Amino acid sequence: MSTDKKAESEVTRTVIEETAATGGGTAVGLAVGALVGGPVGAAVGAGAGAVTTVFVKGLFARTGEWARERADRRIQAFEHEIGEAVMKSTPDGPAPRSEDLAWIAQSEAFSEVVFQNYRRAIDALDPSVVPALARLTWLYKGRSPDAFFRSWGRLLEELSAEEFHALREIISAVVQYDAPCKVVPWMSQGRNEMRLSKIPGEEPVMGFVPGAGTRRALALIEAHDLAYKPNYARGSQIAMSGNVQMEPTTCKRVLYVVGATTVILFPAKYDREPLKE
């Protein structure tokens, strides 16, 4: 019996040949074909390959454009904040005189500082830390990168927006407390708190209600060796409490970098077990 309809095998062969001719037969397409199975599956797979090729090319074209725009926005924010910082004093001294700026611009050490944080600004998890990276850069206008610069730069690069805000709260609280202190997550009357107490001793104890991300911010301070006195193995209670020791002199320098935020400290006491994971 005759028919005008092509045999299924012929249709399949035609689709595969046309797809192959346009470079559409991809691994993804073949996988689709294998799932469907048979001659029709081969045709479906080849067709899916063509669609997949278009999809992947379009996806990477859009991603590349987005990445360039993302980098441009961060670079502009970084450069703007450097310009703002030039006009202001830092914890290490007053703003430079105009005749000093030419020397700073030609400094190989400062070029290295700029380069390292320039990359961190582009790669940072969240754009909110870019101005902080710029201020950290300007803080090192007269010297080479050291452990403080590298550690705080890496920490900032790893923070989400909420963790960056939590870090600002912690640093602001320690500066306000104005004494070497332990910073300990606490649970009191069903509420999460952050407690500060002097080193040595536990009085006076002050607390504040932390925002989200505080535990991770504390963990990163420890992980990057930025605590005043790191806690080594001294018992399971201390190891599990999230206890971090900090001191105000260093925190004042960090506060210039991250920016102060309002923290309301209230009197507290260690009346309960510290918060555990």
201-229 pLDDT, tens digit each: 767 899 999 989 999 999 999 889 898 87
Q: How many CB atoms lie within 10 A of CB 233?
A: 7
Q: What is the pLDDT of residues 6-22, one digit of tens each?
A: 555 554 455 445 544 55
pLDDT, greater one: 239 or 184: 184
Q: Are residues 41 and 103 in the same domain?
A: no
Instruction: Note the pLDDT tens digit of each residue in 140-191.
Output: 998 889 999 999 999 999 999 999 999 999 999 999 999 999 998 888 777 8
Which of these three, 127, 158, 189, is where a domain ends?
Answer: 158
128 and 36 in a common domain: no
75 within a domain of the structure (yes/no): no
Per-residue pLDDT, 217: 94
**Would you say residue 139 lies in a domain?**
yes
User: What is the residue range of 119's domain?
Assistant: 89-158
Count structural domains, the chain. Answer: 3
Q: Say if residue 43 is in the same domain as residue 95.
A: no
When pLDDT is cut at 50, 70 and 90, the band that residue 236 belongs to is very low
Mean pLDDT within 57-75 = 83
Which residue among 17, 32, 65 closes a domain?
65
Same domain, 171 and 245: yes
Residue 21 maps to a domain: yes
Phi, psi angles (nearest 5°) of residue 51: -65, -40
Residue 115 placed within a domain: yes
| Other beta carbons less than 10 A from residue 105's beta carbon | 11
pLDDT for 30 equals: 46
> What is residue 269's predicted lDDT score, i.e. its pLDDT?
76
DSSP β-bridge partners for residue 267: 206
Residues 6+ apart with CB under 8 A from 181: 174, 196, 197, 198, 199, 245, 246, 247
Percentage of the residues of the chain whose pLDDT score is greater than 90: 48
Do 141 and 175 reside in the same domain of the chain?
no
Which residue has better confidence, 28 or 109?
A: 109
Q: Looking at the domain assignment, is residue 82 inside a domain?
A: no
Is the pLDDT reported for residue 237 higher than 50?
no
Q: Are residues 213 and 231 in the same domain?
A: yes
Q: Is the pTM of this model over 0.95?
A: no
Is residue 43 domain-resident?
A: yes
Considering the chain, what percentage of its residues have pLDDT values greater than 70?
A: 73
User: Mean pLDDT, to the nearest integer, of 224-250?
Assistant: 69
- The predicted model gives 111-134 an average pLDDT of 95
